[in-house]
Amino acid sequence: MSDKDWLQQIIDWILGIFGGDDDGEPDVPARPLPNSPGEMVGWGPTYCWWQVSPSDTETLAAAMEDAGLNLCPIELFGFGRDKWWNRLPELMTLFHDRYQIFNRHGIRIDLKLINWNWGEGHAENGDIKSCDRRLNDSWFQDVLDALKPYSDGLILQACAEWGPGSRNGECWKKAERWCETAARQWPGLKSWNKTATPASAPAGHILDYHVSRLDGLGPRTTNRIATTDTSMILNTLGGLKGHLGNHGKLRELVKACRRQGCGFSAYTFFDALDLPQDLAAIDVIGQAWRG
């Protein structure tokens, strides 16, 4: 064996210790990922995921694994002010790195590709809205194709909180078309969130229900994930800035979901990571889920 081959083996060994590789391809999951909603419990940095450094992401993922959490909700593009919609290769590099970390810890990504609230009624969302013609079918197909190599470790939600009565409701048919495209093409798990509080989901989709109160977890079906993606429930749980800080209410919500047999996803809102706060919430979620 040549010196070059020995050197490559050493590099591969070092990368293997840290669970990474240098081929740009997603790793095979280190252990089985959850496949049914009743097995899924999680926490996630949602639209700020890319602002969390790889080292802090590793800290959070390790804490999630220790607590028994196996689901991480994120919105792919974050806010429009960051203009990721026009920087897909750069965004996918950031996503790849975070995907690998969560994957190594047995955590499935619950990916919301487009939040239909994007750019509507929020000054921080920048100069583009979901209805913008630059976000066309060709653009969506490019994004979908970029995500397909990660299908083993994702739940894909093509669009969230869309419909004729939603924000950006004037172009809700585009969201419907994109959801239909994803339903035909996506080889992995898929979820459904029309209107934010859907009563049912199409065949082959997990129902994603956005909770607004402690006693409103949605339709009594085990094929659902209860997600804390509303200002109402987050205020109940501690506030938009003190998200998930009311551990008593958080524990109550997780236990109610567990009793009903649905999955649970803690969807947090923040613009800067608060590690002690989030690590504490992760621990509370895990304890409540286990019993």
| pLDDT of 263 | 97
**What distance in Å separates the CA atoms of residue 45 and residue 53, rounded to the nearest whole number?**
12
| pLDDT of 85 | 87
Whether residue 69 contacts residue 107, with contact meaning beta carbons closer than 8 Å, is answered with: yes
pLDDT above 50: residue 112: yes
- The interaxial angle of helices 247-260 and 275-290, nearest 10 deg, is 40
Task: Tell me the pLDDT band of 117, cut-offs 50, 70 and 90.
Answer: confident
Residues 164-191 have pLDDT tens digits of: 988 888 999 999 999 999 999 999 999 9
Instruction: Output 253 or 169, whichever has higher pLDDT.
Output: 253
| pLDDT of 24 | 74
pLDDT above 70: residue 18: no
Pick the CATH number of 34-290 from 3.40.1380.20, 3.10.180.10, 2.60.40.10, 3.20.20.80: 3.20.20.80
Q: What's the rounded mean pLDDT across residues 276-290?
A: 95
| pLDDT of 167 | 85
Task: Tell me the pLDDT band of 240, cut-offs 50, 70 and 90.
Answer: confident
Closest CA to 186 of 223, 147, 160, 225: 147
Instruction: Please say whether the dihedral angle defined by the alpha carbons of residues 20, 21, 27 and 32, taken in this order, is positive or negative.
Output: negative
| pLDDT of 28 | 67
123: three-class secondary structure by DSSP: helix
What's the whole-number average pLDDT of the chain? 87
Instruction: Output 242 or 141, whichever has higher pLDDT.
Output: 141
| pLDDT of 118 | 77
| pLDDT of 96 | 97
Q: What's the rounded mean pLDDT across residues 189-212?
A: 97
Q: What's the rounded mean pLDDT across residues 210-229?
A: 94
Whether residue 41 contacts residue 267, with contact meaning beta carbons closer than 8 Å, is answered with: no
Residues 35-65 have pLDDT tens digits of: 999 999 999 988 889 889 999 999 999 999 9
Residue 249's alpha-carbon distances to 18, 137, 238, 245, in angstroms, are: 37, 42, 9, 9
**What distance in Å separates the CA atoms of residue 268 and residue 45, rounded to the nearest whole number?**
6
**What distance in Å separates the CA atoms of residue 289 and residue 40, rounded to the nearest whole number?**
10
pLDDT above 80: residue 30: no
| pLDDT of 255 | 97
191: three-class secondary structure by DSSP: strand
**What distance in Å separates the CA atoms of residue 246 and residue 242, rounded to the nearest whole number?**
8
Q: In this predicted structure, which of 31-35, 155-159, 255-259 has the lowest mean pLDDT?
A: 31-35
pLDDT above 50: residue 123: no
Whether residue 57 contacts residue 101, with contact meaning beta carbons closer than 8 Å, is answered with: yes
Q: Which residues contact 105 (CB under 8 A, 6 or more apart)?
A: 30, 61, 62, 64, 65
Q: What's the rounded mean pLDDT across residues 273-279?
A: 86
pLDDT above 50: residue 16: no
